[in-house]
Structure 1
Amino acid sequence: MSFKIAIIGAGSVGFTKKLFTDLLCVPEFRDIEVALTDISQHNLDMIRAILEKIVEANGFPVKVTADTDRRRALEGAKYIISCVRVGGLEAYADDIRIPLKYGIDQCVGDTICAGGILYGQRNIPVILDFCKDIREVAASGAKFLNYANPMAMNTWAAIEYGKVDTVGLCHGVQHGAEQIAEILGAKSVSELDYICSGINHQTWFIDLRLNGRKIGKDELVAAFEAHPVFSQQEKLRIDVLKRFGVYSTESNGHLSEYLPWYRKRPEEIARWIDMSDWIHGETGGYLRHSTETRNWFETEFPQFLASAAKPIDPAKRSNEHASHILEALETGRVYRGHFNVKNNGVITNLPADAIIESPGFVDRFGINMVSGVTLPEACAATCMASINVQRMSVHSAVSGDIDLLKLAVLHDPLVGAVATPEEVWQMVDEMVVAQARWLPQYAHAVPAAKERLAKSSVKTRDWAGAARRNVRSIEELRAEKSALKKAV
């Protein structure tokens, strides 16, 4: 088979490498063209060198191109994959730093909450530019696979306003299933059958079966509490499991910032998080992790390049959805996964316009969702709170309506549990002013926002958060990796 795949934001080097090697695990895909595009020529040069090394080592006739001209990269592409972060780590740092001044302590800040909403405001205009290019220069009927967060907002905008065939992809469901398989003593995750449904990062294991035997709440709680690691790392998720009766797919840190109950009092945060790794609830944990990863890659690039000169092992293909979806569409080999699409009745007790994440099957006829799913009422209520925020966030990102943006932030569950309306209004003004270069739709609102900030009497504080860690140096990272090798 010969067709073209374009990857936008290909400078996300590690993730692009994973997607690429996954694709080459499909025997029929070894004569494809992969077009890389990014705004950073430096990052493009690095990832192109790595991918060409993989192609050379395996002797495949795959064509790899790299171009900062996105439109040229998209010409004729049948599939377009996006993994962009508009504003990079500089804007992301403001997503964490500014809300902390108002008492809002986020672990990740890329889905909802103050940081995720502003992230969406930066991404959506760019996503719509992608969609325009896809409509105009990509292959007829091209499919857009969005990996970028905020997943639901980006996918919502691409479908409703971009008018492009779009599916959102995430790996939270797979990671949650791996945990459950481990605590239940399964030899492999393949012994576990499950239905997850909800919205991205708030999907719920509403049916679980181990080798055909149904697993109930009590057995699941007991297994998690008996596990020596997860019992400490997933305290908040276990508490939600006890109260809701079903387990959330999302990590302890992620889930903590989508709910109004666990991060609203600084003195309570330590009770629910674990500092063994950033993903379990550390303040600004993903920002620190991302910064360290970028610094490490820049320094250790020669080693990454050398490691690319190895034969691909199809047995090590990852569980990221993209390659499996393309394989099913192109070959007809059926793939089952959990996908982010417009609801339209798939989940009976969520709105039709929402972007939901639920089971589907892929074959030559496309992505076919399993309809008629009904969530437990508490799960639906929690999802609805986020959906209402997402809807206002998408519409404000498209319209440039700063008042609607403020209302979206005000209705965010964690923001509303911590901040007053006056604080929210000032915080949004501050974030829009700080990120103005990435928010062209709010250019008309920036001067008035600056004036309000100059006159405001709302007090803020200099606060690093309840559980902040410093970014580690390259030397510290090397020492830690060396110690881990010795321990093994």
Structure 2
Amino acid sequence: MSEGIKIVTIGGGSSYTPELVEGFIKRYDKLPVRELWLVDIKEGQHKLEIVGNLAKRMVDKAGVPMKIYTTLNRREALVNADFVTTQLRVGLLEARIKDERIPLSYGMFGQETNGAGGLFKGLRTIPVLLDICKDMDELCKDAWLINFTNPVGMVMEAINRYSSRKKVIGLCNVPIDTHKAIARILEKPVEEVFATFGGLNHMVYVTGVSVDGNNVMDKVIEKWGRQSVKNIKGIEWEPGFLKELGVIPCSYHRYYYMAKEYLEEAIENYKQHGTRAEKVKKIEEELFEIYKDENLAEKPKQLEQRGGAYYSDAACNLISSIYNDTRDIQVVNTVNRGALTVLEYDEIAEISCMITKDGPIPISVGKLPKAVNGLIQQIKSFEVAGSEAAVTGDYNKALLAMMINPLVGSQSYAIKVLDELLKAHEKYLPRFFAHDTIHRA
């Protein structure tokens, strides 16, 4: 890497890319990115051009010798890359809208990473990520793959089980948001608050909090209450429940512990105002209009409204830590290696890790409270079944994944939603239509 680092971002036309570019610019002294390749598909070419031009203006303004390339040729971009980041959406936002609207039309959760919608995002995404892994094995075998394409847990489980690629890490912004919220409660700078995490992607728990070596977990649990992320409504947690639980849940746990309230709200929004996906589509359209401004040469403030803020900053942090062997602590998705006893040794966990030049080393959490183990194991079985369905294109394996997800809860509706989503996404699910296992009602 003596001539500088080459980074490839697949899904480079994403609205998040300016944050990624900003992250590389501000870290340039310790992370000398000489080439940043932004890769997208033909359907995303227009957005790629807009984002690519903004990235070039940002680099020019900063005066750093970082060359920006845009291309629709993934294999061309991957040659001799040092790091590859993936932030793609198979089927674009139109697919997400279907993932949300179709389940909701049956009175079932429709959400991007949970339940039926999360399953179908995984079914579309996993074959593409496995193809990217194959290309990397051929064209940049020593590169690190940093994935923050959702559903991160299921995607990582599939890569771990069905790919030979070992240098891969999954990343999510939820632990970062949670850590910041804890720091606000304690009225301390986030760097002074040490928090340990263990669980799964979008099902991670805070297992310990300390300041200056003093355990302040009880204080945080007492005040946790209305903590959420931008795209998830805040309903207050009952302090007595959290005290008995013994760990701090993340914002996405509300889909499970407050399922009735959340489903009622989601169905009402679906009927009255449209889904979250439709709101995101509107925000994205507004962002790209802003990105077109030839006088704009920095990440606009409006990007924070998109949800998922700090994703890209987390990616830059992680890449910098690997490159510089900083051995700091970050929360990532990686092979468990016995750190969480509730999971198998070789299953994927979202867990606090020491980040080294050789990758993440999980920090042992040991036993989680018995009260959370069942839910974690249920969602892990969902991730495993969903990844197997994605690889095989087997209808019954997809139905199994649907049925074991706690947000589905109905065999007859599961079949109806599965059939309708398969039909809606047929273009992106060729493996399911390569044989005659599709259920016919």
Is TM > 0.5 for Structure 1 vs Structure 2? yes
Quickly name the TM-score band, shorter chain normalised. 0.7 to 0.9
Partner of 1:457: none
How many Å separate the matches in 2 of 1:220 and 1:28?
A: 35
Offset of residue 31 of structure 1: 4.9
1:340 aligns with 333
Q: Report the Cα distance in structure 2 between the residues aligned to 1:265 and 1:183, rounded to whole angstroms.
A: 25
User: Which residue number in structure 2 is paired with residue 313 of structure 1?
Assistant: none
Task: Kindly indicate whether residue 323 of structure 2 is the aligned counterpart of residue 330 of structure 1.
Answer: yes
Q: 2: distance between equivalents of 1:93 and 1:226? A: 28
Instruction: Select the residue among 382, 385, 403 that pairs with 2:378.
Output: 385
Cross-structure match for 1:263: 259
| 1:295 Cα offset (Å) | 1.5
Q: 1:376 to 1:210 in 2, by over 3 A?
A: same
- Is 1:16–2:5 an aligned residue pair? no
Tell me: CA distance 1:355–1:274, structure 2 relative to 1, closer, same or farther (3 Å).
farther
Indicate the residue corresponding to 2:306 in structure 1: none
CA contact (8 A) 2:50 2:292 kept: no
Sort the Cα spacing of 1:94 and 1:422 in 2 relative to 1 into closer, same or farther, 3 A. same
Contact 1:233 1:273 in 2 (8 A): no
Residue 135 of structure 1 corresponds to 137
Q: Does the CA contact (< 8 Å) of 2:154 and 2:383 recur in 1? A: yes
Aligned partner of 1:49 among 53, 66, 74: 53
CA separation of 1:84/1:31 partners in 2, compared to 1, >3 Å: closer, same or farther?
A: closer
Whether 1:300 aligns to 2:290 is yes
Q: Tell me what 1:482 maps to.
A: none
| Aligned counterpart for 1:77 among listed residues 81, 87, 90 | 81
2:421 aligns with 431
Q: Is the 8 A contact 1:171 1:320 kept in 2?
A: no
* 1:223 corresponding residue in structure 2: 223
SS in 2 for 1:306: coil
Aligned length: 421
Return the offset for 1:240: 5.7
Question: Are the aligned partners of 1:432 and 1:446 in contact in 2 as well (CA < 8 Å)?
Answer: no
Query: What residue is the counterpart of 1:194 in the other structure?
Result: 195
Contact preservation (8 Å) 1:208, 1:214: yes
Question: Contact 1:174/1:319 (CA < 8 Å) preserved in 2?
Answer: no
Task: Deviation per CA, 1:162-210: give whole Å up to 9, x if none.
Answer: 2212100111111111112212232x12221111111111111111123
Is it true that 1:441 corresponds to 2:431 in the alignment?
Answer: yes
Alignment of 1:55-74 (within 5 A): 55-74=59-78
Structure 2 counterpart of 1:480: none
Indicate which of 350, 355, 359 corresponds to 2:352: 359
Q: Could you say if the C-alpha distance between residues 216 and 344 of structure 1 is closer, same or farther in structure 2, counting changes exceeding 3 Å?
A: closer
- Counterpart AA for 1:129: D
Query: What TM-score, normalized to structure 1?
Result: 0.79
Instruction: Summarize the Cα distance change of 1:363–1:9 in structure 2 as closer, same or farther, 3 Å threshold.
Output: same
Show the counterpart of 2:169: 167
CA–CA separation in structure 2 for the residues paired with 1:61 and 1:356? 37
Amino acid at match of 2:208: D
Counterpart Cα distance in 1 of 2:431 and 2:73: 23
1:36 maps to: 38
TM-score, normalised via structure 2 length: 0.87
Q: Distance in 1 between matches of 2:190 and 2:49?
A: 37
How far 1:226 moved relative to its partner?
Answer: 9.1
Point out the structure with max Rg over C-alpha: 1
Are positions 1:401 and 2:401 aligned together?
no
Shift of 1:78: 1.3
The answer to whether the 8 A contact 2:196-2:352 is kept is: yes
Q: What pairs up with 1:463-474 in 2 under 5 angstroms?
A: none
Q: Secondary structure at the match of 1:235?
A: coil
Q: How many angstroms apart in 2 are the aligned matches of 1:318 and 1:443? A: 34
Please point out which of 116, 119, 129 is paired with 2:118: 116
Q: Which amino acid aligns with 2:34?
A: I
Q: State the superposition RMSD in angstroms.
A: 2.9
Letter in 2 for 1:25: K
Question: Where does residue 473 of structure 1 map in the other structure?
Answer: none
Q: Which amino acid aligns with 1:46?
A: I
Contact 1:30-1:60 within 8 A present in 2 as well: no
Separation (CA, whole Å) in 1 of partners of 2:312 and 2:432: 39
1:29 shift after superposition: 3.1
Distance in 1 (alpha carbons) for counterparts of 2:97 and 2:286: 18
- Displacement of 1:299 in angstroms is 2.7
Whether 2:119 is the aligned partner of 1:126: answer: no
Q: Which amino acid aligns with 2:223?
A: A
Query: Could you say if the C-alpha distance between residues 176 and 63 of structure 1 is closer, same or farther in structure 2, counting changes exceeding 3 Å?
Result: same
Partner Cα distance (1:309, 1:18) in 2: 9
Please list every run of 5 or more consecutive structure 2 residues that lacks an aligned counterpart in the other structure.
300-309
Spell out, residue by residue over 1:26-57, the C-alpha distance to the aligned partner (whole angstroms, 9 max, x if none): 20434521111001211111111011101111
Q: Quick one: distance in 2 between partners of 1:447 and 1:318?
A: 38
1:98 counterpart residue number: 102
Q: Which amino acid aligns with 1:368?
A: I
Q: Indicate which of 360, 363, 367 corresponds to 1:370.
A: 363
> Counterparts of 2:235 and 2:369 in 1: how far apart (Å)?
21
Q: What stretches of structure 1 of length at least 5 have no aligned partner?
A: 311-316, 454-488
Structure 1 CA distance, aligned partners of 2:327 and 2:139?
Answer: 29
Q: Contact (CA 8 Å) 2:222, 2:243: kept in 1 or not?
A: no
Structure 1 letter corresponding to 2:91: G
Among 270, 287, 297, the alignment partner of 2:277 is 287
Residue 302 of structure 2 is matched in structure 1 by none
- How far apart are the structure 2 equivalents of 1:422 and 1:294? 36
Equivalent residue for 1:469? none
Question: Which residue is equivalent to 1:474?
Answer: none
Q: Cα–Cα, structure 1 residues 300 and 324, in superposed 2: closer, same or farther, change >3 Å?
A: closer
CA apart distance, 1:332: 2.8
**Any runs of at least 4 consecutive aligned residues in structure 1 with deviations exceeding 6 A, and if so which?**
272-275
User: Sequence identity, in percent?
Assistant: 27
Aligned-partner Cα distance in 2 for 1:5–1:169? 16
Q: Which moved more, 1:436-445 or 1:364-373?
A: 364-373
Could you tell me whether the CA contact under 8 Å between 2:24 and 2:33 is conserved in 1?
A: no
